[in-house]
Amino acid sequence: MKNTIMGLLLLALSLIGLVGAAPSYYEVGDSDGWTTTVGADYYKSWSSSKTFCVGDSLIFQYNKTLHNVMEVSSQDFESCNPNFPLNTYQSQYEPVVLNRTGHFYFICGVPGHCESGQKLDVLVMSADTPINQPNNASSSCSKPNPPPQPTEDPLQVLPVDDETIATLPYNAASSPCVWTGLSMLSFVLLITLVSV
């Protein structure tokens, strides 16, 4: 049930992201989630295989009776010190927005968990920073360049009056009601997840 709700939430958030700049949502550890059972270097490998941009979000999926999520300083990350968290996240599935460039450091504050590898360093890039991936592929956070505009407009410019507008096909995806509905669906799903 929770996986279904999580999938619907991610789908709704993805659809909302189609308007304007589309942030990405990353489920930390993918299907393994946030746990101690994946090995000491798992989250290091996981984060290094992704390109994180300002505005993207992390979603930690975990059993909250066994784990937690704390954002910490780089020193506390290195030493696995949970005593001075910058932020503590109380709910699994709570989106953590990556709202600036630079490193974000996360640990599980349960004794022994960080030391066994339940720690995550995420490097967030700006929109214009070129990124060299491990496989020598180049990537960036910037949106692709728009297609070149033709020198002559082959389309006939129609007059903008009520009669012309009435003959145009209806695009349901551009309706404010659709986006309001998707926003409300996301909110209801998020509330459902938090209360479960």
User: Which domains does the chain carry?
Assistant: 23-144 (2.60.40.420)
Residue 36: per-residue pLDDT: 93
Higher-confidence residue: 151 or 87? Answer: 87
Q: pLDDT band for position 43 (50/70/90)?
A: very high
**How confident is the model at residue 53, as a pLDDT?**
94
Res. 104: pLDDT tops 70: yes
**pLDDT-based confidence at residue 70 (cuts at 50, 70, 90):** very high
The pLDDT assigned to 178 comes to: 56
Q: Which residues pair with 134 in a beta bridge?
A: none
- Is the pLDDT at 173 greater than 60, yes or no? no
This model's pTM is above 0.85: no
Q: Which of 107, 117, 100, 115 is nearest to 41 (CA)?
A: 117
% pLDDT > 90, the chain: 46
Cα 6 to Cα 88: distance, rounded to the nearest angstrom:
21
pLDDT reading at 15 higher than 80? no
Residue 160: pLDDT above 70?
no
Mean pLDDT of all residues belonging to the chain: 76
